[in-house]
Amino acid sequence: MARLGENRYGKSRVRLSRITRHADRHDFNEWIVDVLLQGDFESSFTAADNSKILPTDTMKNTVYSIARGSKATTIEEFAAELGDYLLNNNPQVSQASIEIKEKAWERLSVDGVADATTFKLGGAELQTVHAVREKGGAWSMTSGVDGLTILKTTKSAFTGYVKDKLTTLKPAIDRIFGTRATVRWEFAAAKPDYATVRRKITAALLKEFSAHHSMSVQHTLFDMGKAALDAAPEIARVTLTMPNLHHLLADLSPFGQDNPNHIFVPIDEPHGTIEATIER
């Protein structure tokens, strides 16, 4: 006999751009919103009864409607506002999960002066939040950044590793270190200043990556995590996923040329993947 296990449903990739008009400037945001709901939906699966199903199209419309009246300045605040509305207005819903990704638009500077209404995309990375709340409970927020693409041309080595009969990798004492990091942090404080925490963590990660004399991706990852914890006492732990995006020295010997760490071939597949959580 079959029975229904854990289930949820929602709307994914709701695209939203927002202009907030001030007297002296405009602010611009571009968000991608995912909504997932859990609750009393069994009859829709087992009895073809949709009487407790909020259409996913309605969820999409709810994103736009809540955004219209929202005063939220961060994706964390908007995620809580949207989730609260869905929980408060749907008695059949027991848990709301909201994920938001924000593109890195930043104000354009023209002749050294920030333009009030013009923006440029600052990078490929996305600011993120995953917010979850059960009805009657508090919000659990995990903020982060996806696709933080950084590279250094020195202060990176890899030696002393395990070698067996299948090892062909040669030790390196001065190599390119490139990664496209995913970072997630969980909060210790109940309602921190999300924007300030994000700025502090991002600055600490970049500063540590730049200065660090790396003996491996693992070595740098751990010290970057420590730097994030030191910079932001508001967080309890941080998880970093750092693929090692290789740049392989090109063999120019068939052309009668040497290659003193000058010409490389960038390779992103396959790549090493290193992940760890650093906590207090």
In this predicted structure, what is the pLDDT of residue 190?
85
Give the model confidence (pLDDT) of 187-217 as tens digits: 998 889 999 999 999 999 999 999 999 999 9
113 plus 195 within the same structural domain: no
Share of the chain above pLDDT 90, in %: 98
C-alpha–C-alpha distance, residues 34 and 32, integer Å: 7
Give the number of domains in the chain: 2
224 domain residue, yes or no: yes
In this predicted structure, what is the pLDDT of residue 191?
87
104 plus 221 within the same structural domain: no
Look up residue 227 and give its DSSP letter: H
Give the model confidence (pLDDT) of 62-80 as tens digits: 999 999 999 999 999 999 9
175 plus 129 within the same structural domain: no
In this predicted structure, what is the pLDDT of residue 23?
97
* Summary mean pLDDT of the chain: 97
244 plus 176 within the same structural domain: yes
pTM exceeds cut of 0.85: yes
14 plus 134 within the same structural domain: yes
Rg from Cα positions in the chain: 23
17 domain residue, yes or no: yes
186 plus 130 within the same structural domain: no
Checking if the pLDDT of 273 tops 90, the result is yes
**Pick from 112, 138, 164: which residue ends a domain?**
138
Q: What single string gives the DSSP state of each residue in 43-74?
A: HHHHS---TTPPPHHHHHHHHHHHHHH----S
162 plus 134 within the same structural domain: no
C-alpha–C-alpha distance, residues 93 and 8, integer Å: 10
Which residues neighbour 61 within 8 Å (Cβ) at sequence distance 6 or greater?
none
Give the 3-state secondary structure of residue 192.
coil
Q: What is the CATH number of the domain that holds 126?
A: 3.10.270.10
Confidence of residue 97 (pLDDT cuts 50, 70, 90): very high
**Pick from 120, 138, 156: which residue ends a domain?**
138
3 domain residue, yes or no: no
Q: What single string gives the DSSP state of each residue in 115-157?
A: EEEEEEEEEEEEEEEEEEEETTS--EEEEEEEEEEEEESSSB-
Give the active site residues: 11, 56, 246
105 plus 179 within the same structural domain: no
Buried/exposed 80-91: b ≥16 CB within 10 Å, e otherwise: bbbbeebbeebe
Checking if the pLDDT of 227 tops 90, the result is yes
Mean pLDDT calculated for residue range 136-149 = 97
CB-based contact 139:176 (threshold 8 Å):
no
**Pick from 117, 138, 159: which residue ends a domain?**
138
185 plus 247 within the same structural domain: yes
Please give the single-letter amino acid code of residue 199: R
* Dihedral of the alpha carbons of 214, 215, 218, 223, in degrees to the nearest 10: -40
In this predicted structure, what is the pLDDT of residue 204?
98
179 plus 244 within the same structural domain: yes
91 plus 195 within the same structural domain: no
Residue range(s) defining the domain that contains residue 90: 9-138
69 plus 46 within the same structural domain: yes
Mean pLDDT calculated for residue range 149-160 = 97
C-alpha–C-alpha distance, residues 169 and 174, integer Å: 14
